[in-house]
A = this chain, B = another copy of it.
Amino acid sequence: MPRAVLFDVFGTLVDWRGSVIAGLSAFGASRGIVADWPEIADSWRRAYRPSMDRVRRGAVPWTLLDDLHRDALMEITRRHGIGPLDDDDCEQLVRLWHRLAAWPDVATGLRRLKDVAVIGPLSNGHLALQVALARRNGFPWDVTFGSDMFRHYKPDAEVYLGACDFLGLAPDDVMLAAAHNDDLAAAASFGLRTAFISRPAEFGAATGDRARASGAWDIVVDSVGALAEALGG
A225 to nearest B CB, angstroms? 20
Closest B residue by C-beta to A128: B168
In the assembled complex, how far is the CB of residue A145 from the closest CB belonging to chain B, in whole angstroms?
9
1/0 per residue, CB under 8 A from B, across A59-78: the answer is 00000000000000000000
Q: CB < 8 Å: which of B126, B131, B148, B149 contacts A142?
A: B131
Cα(A167)–Cα(B130), bound, Å: 10
Kindly provide the distance from the CB of A31 to the nearest chain B CB, expressed in whole angstroms.
Answer: 26
On whether the beta carbons of A167 and B135 are closer than 8 Å, the reply is: no
Asked if A143 meets B127 with Cβ closer than 8 Å, knowing A118-B135, A135-B118, A149-B149, the reply is yes
Known A148-B166, A149-B149, A166-B148; judge A118-B131 contact (CB<8 A): yes
Interface residues on A, range: 10 to 19
Task: Tell me if A146 is interfacial: C-beta within 8 Å of chain B.
Answer: yes
Contacts of A134 in B (CB 8 A): 142
Q: Is there a chain B Cβ closer than 8 Å to A27's Cβ?
A: no
How far, in whole Å, are A89 and B112 apart by their CA atoms in the complex?
33
CA distance A143 to B149 in the complex (A): 12
The residue of chain B having its C-beta at the shortest distance from the C-beta of A134 within the complex is: B142
Query: Beta-carbon contacts of A115-137 to B below 8 Å, as 1s and 0s?
Result: 00010000000111011001100
A120 to B: closest C-beta gap in Å: 8
Specify which chain B residues have a CB less than 8 angstroms from the CB of A142 in the assembled complex: 131, 134-135, 144
User: Is the pair A166, B127 in contact by a Cβ cutoff of 8 Å?
Assistant: yes
Chain B residues, CB < 8 A from A190: none
| Contact residue among B130, B131, B166 (Cβ-Cβ distance under 8 Å from A128) | B166
A2 in contact (CB, < 8 A):
no
Q: Report chain B residues within 8 Å CB of A127.
A: 143, 166-167
Find chain B residues with CB under 8 A from A130 CB. 143
Contact mask A143-159 → B, CB, 8 Å, 1/0?
A: 11010110000000000
Instruction: List residues of chain A with CB under 8 Å of any chain B CB.
Output: 118, 126-128, 130-131, 134-135, 140-144, 146, 148-149, 166-168
- Identify 11 residue pairs between A and B in the complex whose beta-carbon atoms are under 8 Å apart, listed by A's number: A118-B131, A128-B166, A128-B168, A130-B143, A131-B143, A134-B142, A135-B142, A141-B144, A142-B144, A144-B144, A148-B166
